[in-house]
Amino acid sequence: MIAEVGYPQASIRKIADRVGVAMSVVLYHFAGKDELVGAIVSKLYRLFIERILPAVQAETTAAGKFRAYIRGNVAYIADHKKEHGVIIDIGMTYRSATGKRLYDLELDPELLTQLSKLDLESIFGLGAKGFPRPIRS
């Protein structure tokens, strides 16, 4: 539903209708739209991690990890256009009832640990070790 109409227009009622259940069933499992979004984001992050992390971890150099990350991203987007669009849409438009953004969602710590293994800054940091730092005046 989010892929079809966008996050702001994807109400719990529309999502329940699409799945073929009563809205009360959705609300039984999720306290509200924010919790539902957290579950969706977690699922999409897990899919992304499962696709890319093994290839990145198999590499032994920073350059190899970076290449694996880029290749994995390109393949993931090619194979998961709808899912990628959903995470982009949520990232651009999500605001919780209290104003939180996507990066403020409370996600499973283990999921965040796995996601942090794909952090480009740490991959770049591996490549920078041993290189002299630039002199700043």
The confidence score (pLDDT) of residue 7 equals 87
In a domain, 111, yes or no: yes
Residue ranges making up the domain that contains 41: 32-128
The confidence score (pLDDT) of residue 50 equals 96
In a domain, 53, yes or no: yes
In a domain, 38, yes or no: yes
Number of domains in the chain: 1
The confidence score (pLDDT) of residue 33 equals 87
Mark the ranges of the chain whose per-residue pLDDT is less than 50: none
The confidence score (pLDDT) of residue 132 equals 52
Neighbours of 47 (CB within 10 A): 16
In a domain, 24, yes or no: no
The confidence score (pLDDT) of residue 64 equals 92
